């Protein structure tokens, strides 16, 4: 009868630990990739938020300039109309000049009134864009935190060869990945992430 050599239990345990360590290390590398994506998404959301805020502020300043111009032309129009209301003050060609001036001021007032409405719409669109990016940002931030903790937990699981710690890291990584994906897609809303 052939002799069967049984493996040494210590060698089996060592191989099993090495295999576990390799799998956890590979998984940790995947966590790191997800962390990089979360970090990039968060950085991009913040840049877009700041850009939209700056553009919105610029549009509101432009709007305010339009309002001021509109009021100036209205004031000038009213001043000329007041002069025209005095029948003995202006006659002939001089009166025609004042009437033409009053019409020009009225036309400019209308133009600025129309322009300011368009500028206001643009400013509100930029504010909505800013608010959209503001809503995205916390998901990336908290996704990053969960992924960082998952990486640390996975590292601890290698050192302690603890499968429980590895599964804990896996749960954290899934949560971090879900928050990161939501930062891009805004599928769900978590009220505690918004101030």
Cα 93 from Cα 159, distance rounded (Å): 98
Query: pLDDT tens digit string along 8-29?
Result: 666 556 666 789 999 999 999 9
CA–CA distance, 10 with 17 (Å, rounded to integer): 11
% residues pLDDT > 70 (the chain)? 91
Residues of the chain short of pLDDT 50, as ranges, are: 1
Residue 13 pLDDT: 64
SS3 at position 6:
coil
**The predicted structure's pLDDT at residue 1:** 46
Q: State pLDDT tens for residues 130-145.
A: 999 999 999 999 999 9
The pLDDT of residue 5 is: 57
Name the burial class of residue 22, with classes exposed (0-12), middle (13-18) and buried (19+) by CB atoms within 10 angstroms of its CB.
exposed
Question: If we measure between CA atoms, which residue out of 103, 183, 105, 185 comes closest to residue 147?
Answer: 183
Q: Looking at residue 8, what is its pLDDT?
A: 61
Task: Give the pair of three-digit tokens for residue 32.
Answer: 């790191």
What pTM was estimated for this model as a whole? 0.79
Q: Choose among 93, 53, 148, 91: nearest CA to 83.
A: 91
């Amino acid at each position: 009868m052939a002799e069967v050599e049984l493996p040494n239990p210590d060698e089996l345990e060592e191989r099993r630990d090495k295999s576990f360590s390799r799998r956890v290390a590979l998984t940790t590398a995947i966590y790191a990739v997800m962390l990089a994506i979360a970090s990039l998404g968060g950085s991009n959301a913040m840049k877009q938020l700041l850009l939209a805020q700056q553009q919105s502020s610029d549009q509101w300043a432009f709007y305010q300039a339009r309002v001021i111009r509109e009021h100036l032309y209205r004031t000038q129009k009213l001043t000329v109309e007041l002069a025209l209301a005095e029948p003995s003050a202006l006659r002939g060609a001089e009166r025609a000049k004042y009437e033409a001036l009053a019409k020009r001021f009225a036309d400019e007032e209308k133009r600025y009134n129309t322009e300011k409405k368009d500028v206001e719409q643009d400013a509100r669109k930029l504010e909505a864009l800013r608010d959209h990016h503001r809503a995205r940002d916390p998901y990336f931030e908290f996704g990053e935190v969960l992924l960082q903790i998952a990486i640390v937990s996975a590292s601890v699981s290698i050192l302690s060869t603890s499968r429980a710690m590895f599964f804990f890291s896996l749960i954290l990584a899934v949560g971090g990945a879900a928050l990161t994906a939501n930062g891009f897609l805004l599928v769900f809303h978590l009220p505690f992430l918004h101030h």
